[in-house]
Structure 1
Amino acid sequence: MTQDMIAQAAAQLLGADLAGWHPVSGGDLNRVLRLRLISGEEVIAKTGPDPRGEAAMLIAIRDAGVPAPRVLGASAEVLVMEALEKAGGLSSIGWQELGAALRRLHQVPGIAYGWERDFAFGKVAIRNAPLPSWPEFWAERRLLAELSALPSAFARRLERLARDLPQRLPAALTPVLLHGDLWSGNVLAADGRLSGIIDPACYCGHGEVDLAMLSLFGSPGAAFFSGYGRLEPEAEDRRPIYQLWPAIVHLRLFGGGYAGLLDGLLRQAGV
């Protein structure tokens, strides 16, 4: 779809007249537009692998009491949602708000490890079919899912780690709702306060997965953890294991510049 087709499809979904639109920067994998309606209201329209699936994720996040855009409409081609305020980064209070919001998200129990439908990051499939144990899910649906597309040296190391996961990850934890792609670019702030979290790739699993992603390219800091609460002592050992999945995704999507990241995380994980 062209940008104009996206804008027209979004306006049609809303049954509204379009006054104008402009592209929004920051989306690496999907087209995102900010629309201005004749009424004066502004909304966000975006494409993606499964707009209806993403709509369901945003609704689940909002139902958990976590700030996220309100879904206004979704079709097979486009998702239309509330335009949240965005200006600058989080202050200390904002980081505390994000920690508390993520804790609320991670208090929503799931019935299985996984999600009701698959999703994707661009050409990388996110396979969410449930499996009976968490180590099995993390091995089969995440660490080994892209094995055939990775250099053989990385593939062998990931296979060794996967065999050891029953000894390194909790098998019987209660699955909780995850954002699934929680990095700073998916956290919106206005005047230092938390506006909302966007671009989810939800499934149910171990809450430490979101924390690992959030700390992959930065550090949440003390204010965040004052809102989120203390982690288990073993969380630090599990962090590189959980960071391997986004590293694999980055290597697949953006190329060999991320090989060093993957290698470093495998070393931290002891393989």
Structure 2
Amino acid sequence: MTSLAEAGAALLGGRLAWAEPMGGGDLSSLLRIGLDDGREAVVKTGPDPLAEAAMLRAIRASGAPAPAVLGATTAILVMERLPASRADGADADLGRAVARLHAVTGESYGWEQDFSFGPVRIENGWSPDWPSFWGERRLLCHRPFLDPPLARRIEALAAALPERLPARPRPALLHGDLWGGNVLTEGGRVTGLIDPACYFGHAEVDLAMLALFGRPGPAFRAAYGQAEPGCADREPIYQLWPALVHLRLFGSGYRGMVERLLDVVQA
């Protein structure tokens, strides 16, 4: 912990006064540090701190809240410390924040580079066709890591995506890992969207992820905007990707989630 804290302080051009670990870093180390001049910051490791820094800047440029990047190297990311109590009552503000994020439009589907969740690679190669992107980059990419019965079900779904997903929805800027643990709130307002895995894609992807581990209340949808026709049918297709990632990262405890989603999609 000391070496990481000192590296963060050095990147800020100051001297470390104190450091304390922060919760929530399942796939990276996370510290809060204070400098002897009174400044405070958050220091984080990760698979690609420079890429994450670029994603945080893209979120902030959209007008959605995210921590300011104070420094980044290939080894660490140093960010602004944001107020966060995780209190309830921020659903409406979250709806507005996500709407601002999704208002940014890309030219195609994907991102400038691949990323990862720990050892699980996130393939982001550009594609002009959304069903192909989702099938290849978000479903079939897991096939080598699945047993044959589950792999065959994923293959069957990927083959059916041209009939299940819109061919060319507007390529919105996505957070990419939008769940409650990655939303900081204070006093009924969202102070920051953190731990992004950004790319351009169908806006419903973020909304589906946000509903996977606890759906926000009706104030979110009222502030975000009306659902597209067929949104409920597509939601389990989009939820399969984070479910498959969790299966690979955390083991067989998530197999049931994957199978339940496939049962809904393939009913």
Farther-moved stretch of structure 1 (186-195 vs 26-35)? 186-195
**Structure 1 residue 192: deviation in Å?**
2.8
Q: Which runs of 4+ in 1 moved over 4 A?
A: none
Superposition map of 1:176-187 within 5 A: 176-187=172-183
On the 8 A contact 2:208/2:238 being kept in 1, the answer is yes
1:204 aligns with 2:208: no
Percent sequence identity over aligned pairs? 56
1-side partners of 2:124 and 2:229: how far apart? Answer: 28
Q: CA deviation at 1:12?
A: 1.3
> Are residues 1:257 and 2:253 paired?
yes
Alignment of 1:157-176 (within 5 A): 157-176=153-172
Match of 1:32 in 2: 30
CA distance in 2, matches of 1:89, 1:200: 21
| Aligned partners of 2:93 and 2:188 also within 8 Å | no
Deviations 1:216-236 (A, max 9, x none): 011112010111011112000
Is residue 55–residue 71 contact of structure 1 (8 Å, CA) maintained in 2?
yes
Question: 1:53 aligns to what?
Answer: 51
Output aligned runs, 1:66-77, within 5 Å.
66-77=64-75
Relative to the length of structure 2, the TM-score reads 0.98
1:35-114 equivalence runs, <5 A: 35-91=33-89, 94-114=90-110
Output the CA distance in 2 between the equivalents of 1:34 and 1:145. 35
Tell me the TM-score normalized by structure 1.
Answer: 0.97
Aligned residues: 267
The answer to whether structure 1 residue 214 and structure 2 residue 210 are counterparts is yes
Counterpart position of 2:131: 135
Q: Which amino acid in structure 2 is aligned with residue 55 of structure 1?
A: A
Cα separation, 1, equivalents of 2:195 and 2:246: 16
Distance in 1 (CA, whole Å) between partners of 2:94 and 2:32 is 25
Aligned to 1:194: 190
Name structure 2 gaps, 5 residues minimum: none
Contact persistence 1:113–1:203 (CA under 8 A)? yes
Offset of residue 105 of structure 1: 0.7
Cα deviations by residue, 1:73-116 (Å, 9 ceiling, x for unpaired): 0000000000000113231xx11010011011111001210000
Tell me, yes or no, if the aligned pair for 1:112 and 1:204 is still in contact at 8 Å. Answer: yes
The alpha-carbon deviation at position 8 of structure 1 amounts to 1.4
Paired AA for residue 140 in structure 1: E
